[in-house]
Amino acid sequence: MLNYDLVVVGGGPAGMAAALKAKEEGVEKIVILERAQTLGGILEQCIHTGFGLHYFGEELSGPEYAGRFIELVEKTDIDVFTDTMVLNISDSKVVTAVNNNEGLMQFQAIAVVLAMGCRERPRGALSIAGSRPSGIMTAGTAQKYVNIDGYMPGKKVVILGSGDIGLIMARRMTLEGAEVKVVCELMPYSGGLTRNIVQCLDDFGIPLRLSCTVIKTHGKERLEGVTIAKVDERLQPIPGTEEYIECDTLLLSVGLIPENELSKDVGVELDRVTSGPVVDEYRETLKPGIFACGNVLQVHDLVDYVTEESQIAGKGAADYIFGKKKGGTFINTKGIDGVRYIVPQRVNIEGTEKLKLYFRVGQVYTGAKVVVECDGEILSSRKKVKLAPGEMENVVITPEMLAKMNENSEITVRIEQ
């Protein structure tokens, strides 16, 4: 058994930021366990720029953003095991992992930070008719093929889903010589950033079809084409609108799911909307000493916010290890009227620091107000030019607001049109 103060599961931007913060706070023995060959996580394959505008004040590519944290980790005495798969976290915080060199390893931790990230929703989660030919994959898989393995997975491409990964891959495949025929989006709006629609689709004349989906794949060994169709308000395909498109590759960019198998096994309670753990403002789960941050907690659109969140978790873990973590009276936060969820789900009303509640809306709003309320009293109300499901928002709760609450209070955030 190896003894550590803090075991961090996952060496992406979340894991690294949490470990570094804990180190800064004085935690001595820290280990990061990473499944891939190197630290950096998904950023390693996100070679486009747009990372770091908030945190570093400059525009970096994914590997550059990760590189800055890898360099910082290497300067510390934080232990790193790469190529290492965590198999289990026990109730008593024994983390079991395996790799090729050491075989089975057990780490006894005082605190654990969950930073496993998320994975893409696969074809199996959609109901598309057709057999299982090669050429159908998630956009992230194609991104790894092209950007890490230097391998082009196809020549004629259809993309389902207009989230940012789908848009980025439309441009990437086009630059490498493929013909991207169309990007279909089930919803009447794109889930991606407007700038990505401009510079990834419009720049190359790639059509974006909203309220449209793939209903059938053709081909047995290799994909030969897909049938697309328009959908109605209930997102059901409209008969008579079917169209056949010849292609050898179908990329799916249809959502991300936090990877919480380890969390579930150790009995960490999950939020039904985020599919991530229920946490308090220190990012501690309902299991004392187990913290969560990054995409395993909630899917983020900007890595800068992952870093910010993970530093909170790293600080929380350090306080826990030193026995400094404040007890207190925890109340729930709740999203209503258009607010799908809030992280953190629990807030300590005895807290003495300003905190942010992060949330997402369920549809596009223009000129709507974000209203924060507690016990019938409006704490804040702010008008927003635009609110969209693809963009995470936040509201600030001050210690003065908390001071007025009691153990039966509930903080709600809602959208008022």
Tokens 């060994």 belong to: 221
Cis link prior to 344 (omega < 30° from 0)? Answer: yes
CB-CB contact of 389 with 362 (8 Å)? yes
Identify the residue among 3, 28, 37, 85 touching other proteins (CB under 8 A): 37
CB of 150 to other proteins, least distance (A): 3
CB of 175 to other proteins, least distance (A): 5
Using the rule CB under 8 A, is 149 a contact of other proteins?
yes
CB of 195 to other proteins, least distance (A): 4
Closest to other proteins by CB, 91 vs 149, is 149
Identify the residue among 57, 103, 124, 150 touching other proteins (CB under 8 A): 150
From residue 289 to residue 328, the character string flagging contacts with other proteins as x (rule: CB under 8 A) and all else as - is ------------xx--------------------------
Identify the residue among 28, 179, 203, 353 touching other proteins (CB under 8 A): 203
Using the rule CB under 8 A, is 199 a contact of other proteins?
yes
Identify the residue among 23, 35, 48, 287 touching other proteins (CB under 8 A): 48
d(CA 359, CA 55) in angstroms, rounded, equals 20
- Structure tokens that stand for 417 in this block: 């049109």
CB of 284 to other proteins, least distance (A): 30
d(CA 39, CA 10) in angstroms, rounded, equals 8
User: Which range, of 3-11, 130-138, 190-198, 394-402, touches other proteins by CB under 8 A?
Assistant: 190-198
Using the rule CB under 8 A, is 176 a contact of other proteins?
yes
Half-sphere exposure of 353 (CA within 13 A, CB side): 7
CB of 200 to other proteins, least distance (A): 10
CB of 45 to other proteins, least distance (A): 9
Using the rule CB under 8 A, is 47 a contact of other proteins?
yes
d(CA 405, CA 4) in angstroms, rounded, equals 38
Burial per residue of 141-151, b for 16 or more beta-carbon CB atoms within 10 angstroms, e otherwise: bbbbbbbeeee
Rg of the chain, C-alpha, whole Å: 22
CB of 14 to other proteins, least distance (A): 19
Closest to other proteins by CB, 9 vs 70, is 70
Render 227-246 in DSSP notation, one character per residue. EEEEB-TTSPBPTT--EEEE
Residue 17, classed as helix, strand or coil, is helix
CB-CB contact of 238 with 245 (8 Å)? no
Pairing of strands 30-33, 49-51: unpaired
Between CA 372 and CA 302, with CA 257 as vertex, the angle to 5 degrees is 60
User: Which range, of 3-11, 22-30, 196-204, 270-278, touches other proteins by CB under 8 A?
Assistant: 196-204
CB of 197 to other proteins, least distance (A): 8
Closest to other proteins by CB, 62 vs 154, is 62
Using the rule CB under 8 A, is 94 a contact of other proteins?
no
Of 113, 45, 49, nearest to 78 by C-alpha is 113
d(CA 68, CA 84) in angstroms, rounded, equals 22
Identify the residue among 26, 53, 98, 235 touching other proteins (CB under 8 A): 53
- Structure tokens that stand for 103 in this block: 């075989």
- Structure tokens that stand for 135 in this block: 């050429």
Q: Which of residues 56-85 bind other proteins (CB under 8 A)?
A: 59-61, 63-64, 67
Task: List residues binding other proteins (CB under 8 A).
Answer: 37, 44, 47-50, 53, 59-61, 63-64, 67, 146-151, 172, 175-176, 193-195, 197-199, 203, 301-302
